[in-house]
Each structure stands twice: as structure tokens, then as C-alpha cells.
């Protein structure tokens, strides 16, 4: 299959490119490298079935030859980018999604949108099922992300209804693993970097707020199944790990696994930070035969090892070794 992956230089996108190449597909990765990095797919650059196009999805993009599937992942996703890059995020998820839907329509390709659990906002329903409409502040600091993903979902469904485009929407819950940015701002990389550097571990609020963390290889398996299973046009599916853990538990586990001497410090919760997040994955289990299989501890260990390596490199460069 000829596959386009937008955002393929990012954390999730680069793992997805690896997996698609492994499965024998031809992959065209489109990315403007704004939050992703070439290092994430350096090992693929010489592969004959991999092609990288450095472009912004907000611009019109023509691709020569057939395309059977478009995975649309391009979008900054870190809360630290929400203030500085709000307009970029809004336009990437609106104009960028429009351009990629048009590409899929012209090529008669299947289209998978990487949406997010953020469309549920600070949920009033728990756990969140796909049928829940969400509780989103339309003008808050996170709205550039929440609302533009909601728009992207609406546009995707409009293309499905008007043009019969074969679309699928993945609502991705917190995912973690190697290749996350060290300055990503999300809990897992934050805690790991602080723990490895023996700096205080910053917990927002009292740490009792919960999240559910899915390891990257499990998520990628879910994305591939969602895109490749037949007769799922117009389906919206939660992908995430339903095991709910408090932020404080995760911080303590990371501290232990990293063998760190860090202490915990508590800071006020950021605006509109959701209190609970947990996917109901019954639909994914039923229609994709999918569920996460990597235990939290195992995923954290692999991620800690990754950060240990890159931090060592950074320290060596600083000291001129
Ligand atoms: N990581 C998570 O836990 C999570 C959770 C829910 C949803 N998602 C979604 O998954 C997708 C990937 O997230 P990620 O965590 O890998 O983030 P990431 O920042 O690592 O990857 C995003 C990629 O998109 C590229 N990009 C951004 N704007 C672009 C533009 N205008 N044109 C071309 N490329 C652009 C970036 O350079 C980067 O390589 C995003 O759509 C995100 O909303 C991620």
C-alpha cells in the first residue's frame, strides 16, 4: 500500500512510519519539523520505500502517483505550545486537515484522523465513551487544541457524508514512550528528565488527578488496525489504556525506576486541566480486537532508558567529551 503520514517526524508519527515500513508499505512522510525531528526517522532515510517531504500541511500539497491511505497526525500536541503556537495549531488542524482530506479525496484514499481525548475536555462522564460530546471551554488556553481537533473531526465527517470518503477517527488518549521531546511539557517526560537529573519532580495540583497512559507500540498497533480493517468508514474509536493511575503514583514509580534522589514539589494546577481521563475501549476491543498489552512499568522502563541515553549525550556534548 502507498501511505502518506503527516507528522511523521514526531513522536507517534515516527513509530507509525517504522511500523508501516516493517509491514511492507511505501511511506511518504510529510512534516514541517516544527515539533518533530529528523532524528526520529534518520534510520529510514535511506530506505527505498520511505520518502520524506519537508512541507507544511497548511499549504496545498500534490503527491505524484497512487496513495491508498492517509494518516493525518500533523499537529503540535504539547500543552507548552498552546500559548505560543495557538494560531499555528488552529490552522494546522483546520486548513491542514482540509488539505489532507482533499488529497485523500483526489487519490480515493482512506483517511485516518489522529484526534484526541481532549475533545472530551474536562469530562463529566467517566470513563469516556465515543458517544460522549464532551465538556470543553471554547475560549480557554487549551481551546486552540481542543476546538481545532473538534473542528477537524467535524470536517472529516462532513467529507465522509458528502463525498463518501472512507474516514476513520482515532481519539488518542495519553501516550508515552521513547522519542517524546524532553521539553515536551507532559507529565511522563517531565518526571523522567527531572528524576534522571535528580532535580525536584514537579507535580501539578495535589497529584490525585488521574490519567491513563498507553505505551507507544500499543497505540501504533491500534492505529494500524483502525486504518486497515475493512468496512469501518465513518467510525470513531478511542485508543488508549484504561488503567487509571494518579499523577502522584506515576511520579513515584518513575522516581523508583530511575533510582532517583529527587523530591516532589507541588505547584498549582494549570487552567482547564482535566481532573480525570480514562477511555472506555469496548468499541476498539469489539471492532478492532485491540487492547493495550504493555504494562505501565515496562513502558516506563523503556522510556527511562531512552532518556538516559539522550541525556548522557547532551551532558557529554556540554562537557566536550
Ligand atoms: N502524544 C499523545 O499522547 C497524543 C494524544 C492525543 C492525540 N495525539 C495526536 O497525535 C498526533 C501526533 O502527536 P505527537 O505526540 O506525536 O506530537 P509531535 O509534536 O511529536 O508530532 C507532531 C508532528 O507534526 C508536525 N507538524 C506540526 N504542525 C505541522 C504542520 N503545520 N505541517 C506539517 N507538519 C506539522 C511536527 O513537526 C511533528 O513532527 C497529533 O495530531 C496529536 O494531536 C497525541
189 pocket-lining for ligand 1 (C-beta < 6 Å):
no
Measured in Å, residue 149 CA sits from the centre of ligand 1 at 12
pLDDT tens-digit series, residues 188-199: 999 999 999 999
Measured in Å, residue 3 CA sits from the centre of ligand 1 at 17
Is the Cβ–Cβ distance between 31 and 9 less than 8 Å? yes
CA dihedral 273, 154, 212, 227 (to 10 degrees): -150
99 pocket-lining for ligand 1 (C-beta < 6 Å):
no
Q: In this structure, how many other beta carbons lie within 10 angstroms of the beta carbon of residue 23?
A: 12
| Site to substitute for ligand 1 among 15, 75, 274, most atoms within 8 A of C-beta | 75
Residues facing 111 on adjacent strands: 70, 167
**Beta strands per DSSP E along 190-298:** 201-204, 210-212, 214-215, 235-239, 244-246, 264-267
Measured in Å, residue 314 CA sits from the centre of ligand 1 at 24
Measured in Å, residue 58 CA sits from the centre of ligand 1 at 14
Residues in the chain where the model's pLDDT stays below 70: 272, 313-321
| Site to substitute for ligand 1 among 4, 7, 81, 185, most atoms within 8 A of C-beta | 7
pLDDT tens-digit series, residues 276-289: 789 999 999 999 99
175 pocket-lining for ligand 1 (C-beta < 6 Å):
yes
95 pocket-lining for ligand 1 (C-beta < 6 Å):
no
Residues comprising the chain, all counted: 321
**Which atom of ligand 1 sits closest to the CA of residue 89?**
28
Q: Give the residue numbers annotated as catalytic, written as ranges.
A: 145
**Which atom of ligand 1 sits closest to the CA of residue 145?**
43
Check residue 152 and give its pLDDT.
98
Measured in Å, residue 34 CA sits from the centre of ligand 1 at 9
212 pocket-lining for ligand 1 (C-beta < 6 Å):
no
Is the Cβ–Cβ distance between 37 and 244 less than 8 Å? no
Q: Are strands 210-212 and 244-246 parallel, antiparallel or unpaired?
A: antiparallel
| ω into 127 cis (within 30 of 0) | yes
Measured in Å, residue 268 CA sits from the centre of ligand 1 at 27
Check residue 317 and give its pLDDT.
55
3-state SS class at 279: strand
Check residue 107 and give its pLDDT.
98
Residues facing 279 on adjacent strands: 128
116 pocket-lining for ligand 1 (C-beta < 6 Å):
yes
| Site to substitute for ligand 1 among 16, 17, 42, 76, most atoms within 8 A of C-beta | 76
Check residue 93 and give its pLDDT.
98
**Which atom of ligand 1 sits closest to the CA of residue 12?**
16
List of domains in the chain: 2-176+214-241+276-293 (3.40.50.720)
Amino acid at each position: 500500500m502507498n501511505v502518506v503520514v503527516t507528522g511523521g517526524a514526531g513522536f507517534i508519527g515516527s513509530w507509525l512510519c517504522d511500523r508501516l515500513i516493517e509491514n511492507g508499505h511505501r511511506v511518504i512522510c510529510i512534516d514541517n519539523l516544527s515539533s518533530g525531528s529528523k532524528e526520529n526517522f534518520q534510520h529510514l532515510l535511506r530506505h527505498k520505500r520511505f520518502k520524506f517531504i519537508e512541507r507544511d500541511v497548511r499549504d496545498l500539497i500534490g503527491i505524484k502517483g497512487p496513495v491508498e491511505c492517509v494518516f493525518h497526525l500533523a499537529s503540535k500536541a504539547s500543552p507548552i505550545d498552546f500559548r505560543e503556537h495557538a494560531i499555528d495549531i488552529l490552522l494546522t488542524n483546520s486548513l491542514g486537515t482540509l488539505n489532507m482530506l482533499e488529497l485523500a479525496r483526489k487519490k480515493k484514499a482512506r483517511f485516518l484522523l489522529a484526534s484526541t481525548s481532549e475533545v472530551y475536555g474536562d469530562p463529566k462522564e467517566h470513563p469516556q465513551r465515543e458517544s460522549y460530546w464532551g465538556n470543553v471551554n471554547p475560549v480557554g488556553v487549551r481551546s486552540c487544541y481542543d476546538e481545532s481537533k473538534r473542528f477537524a473531526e467535524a470536517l472529516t465527517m462532513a467529507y465522509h457524508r458528502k463525498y463518501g470518503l472512507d474516514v476513520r477517527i482515532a481519539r488518542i488518549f495519553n501516550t508515552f514512550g521513547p522519542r517524546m521531546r524532553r521539553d515536551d511539557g507532559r507529565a511522563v517526560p517531565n518526571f523522567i528528565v527531572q528524576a534522571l537529573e535528580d532535580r525536584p519532580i514537579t507535580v501539578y495540583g495535589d497529584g490525585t488527578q488521574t490519567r491513563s497512559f498507553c505505551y507507544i507500540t500499543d497505540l501504533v498497533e491500534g492505529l494500524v488496525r483502525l486504518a486497515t480493517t475493512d468496512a469501518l468508514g465513518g467510525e470513531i474509536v478511542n485508543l488508549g489504556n484504561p488503567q487509571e493511575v494518579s499523577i502522584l503514583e506515576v511520579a513515584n514509580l518513575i522516581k523508583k525506576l530511575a533510582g532517583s534522589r529527587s523530591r516532589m514539589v507541588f505547584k498549582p494546577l494549570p487552567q482547564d486541566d482535566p481532573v480525570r481521563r480514562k477511555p472506555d475501549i469496548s468499541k476498539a476491543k469489539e471492532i478492532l480486537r485491540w487492547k493495550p498489552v504493555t504494562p505501565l512499568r515496562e513502558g516506563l522502563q523503556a522510556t527511562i532508558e531512552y532518556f538516559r541515553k539522550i541525556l548522557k549525550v547532551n551532558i557529554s556534548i556540554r562537557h566536550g567529551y
